[in-house]
Amino acid sequence: MRATFTLGRMAGVRIGVHWSVVLIFALIAFGLARGRLSDAYPGEPEAVYWIAGFIAAVVFFGSLLAHELAHAVLARRNGIEVDDIVLWLLGGAARLKSEASNPAAELRIAGVGPLVSLALGGVFVLGAWLLSLASAPGIVVEVVAWLGAINVLLAVFNSVPAAPLDGGRLLRAFLWWRTGDRLKATAGATAAGRVFGWLLVLLGVVLFLYGGEFGGLWLALVGWFLIAAATSEGRQAQLRGVLSGVPVRDAMTPGPVTVSPGLAVADVLSGPPFRYRHSAFPVVRDDGTPVGLLALDDARKVRRERADEVTVDEVMVPLPEVTVAASQDPLADLLPQMESGARNRVLVIDGGRLAGILALSDVSRTVTWLTNTAPQSGGRR
């Protein structure tokens, strides 16, 4: 899940927001303003309900961010780099650049998120009780109580032993510890995730068809997301098994065609680079230093009348936002960071110089080759 825009950095981690957050934000604010708050405390000015709902939604997403930041901080303390945190439709996700090195580290990283949500829930519940004793306005007490309940619910739901929830990570840590096999542990956790997802889908459909509960549709949507995410995680684990021991250099495209940062966009679209029909080009200075990645789709967005004036460095993805690897890095460890799309190519850099470029298609080609040759050769050498 890629962020639509970036909010900034917290604790050294880039914080991004996907456009789908707008939808859930609006649903929370609307549900509180037009439902819970207006029903519990009728007669207040309409603006009061909406302001309270808006504030509750903001604080709720702040709670989600705290949950994901806890994962990120613990990951870094256990030697795992964090790519970013993205808030989206169904919550948030801290994207780690590699996996935990042992079951104990996995346990710590996964377990801290629900603990933070549970602690926040306790703080909000205590705050609601104290505000009630202090005779604070009822709407304020109701909002704080709702925040307490939703954080406790978030902690409980995330603790369900089913991938990709935090509880699924805890289950994987336990299975990993018992079996000593991370791949088998992941398979068990993802299987549990698919079962739990189908149960939610079934329950949601029953609630909607027989009880007329529109909340059932939301429950089914969450279940469907869990099924898709667990299936994707399982496939990625299988890929990691196939690619175990394979370095990035075995899959990358070496010596890719590059463009200069000072080159006009018009020259890129009409000049020699465009003839190669690649969808993305590394951007490299004259001294050989890579500075970014140019996706042709971004170049084509420049208006034709300005294409002679706009240069590559104005439309490229700057290097800090590009996934970078070294040629000797394990290819399997790079999989969690890779996504489809020209903007998501991986630049392979050795000693400050560009060595190659890597796309998901390169990984697929490598997997196909390994799968086809393994039975004949008896395995990789």
- Which residues are catalytic, by number? 68
What are the residue ranges of helices labelled H in the chain?
Answer: 21-31, 37-40, 46-77, 103-133, 138-158, 166-179, 182-211, 215-242, 265-270, 272-275, 296-300, 312-315, 331-334, 360-377
Q: What are the backbone dihedrals phi and psi of residue 2, each rounded to the nearest 5 degrees, phi first?
A: -90, 145
C-alpha span between 107 and 152 (Å, rounded): 20
What is the DSSP track for 280-344?
EEEEE-TTS-EEEEEEHHHHHTS-GGGTTT-BHHHHSEEGGGS-EE-TTSBHHHHGGG--SSGGG
Residue 326, token pair as written in the block? 């070294």
Shortest CA distance to 38 belongs to which of 30, 213, 354, 366? 30
In which order are the strands placed within the sheet that holds 324-325? 253-254, 353-358, 346-350, 324-325
Amino acid type, 376: Q
Q: What are the backbone dihedrals phi and psi of residue 379, each rounded to the nearest 5 degrees, phi first?
A: 125, 175
CA distance between the termini of the chain: 35
Cβ atoms 214, 208 nearer than 8 A: yes
Residue 227, token pair as written in the block? 């099924």
Burial (CB count <10 Å: 0-12, 13-18, 19+), residue 132: middle
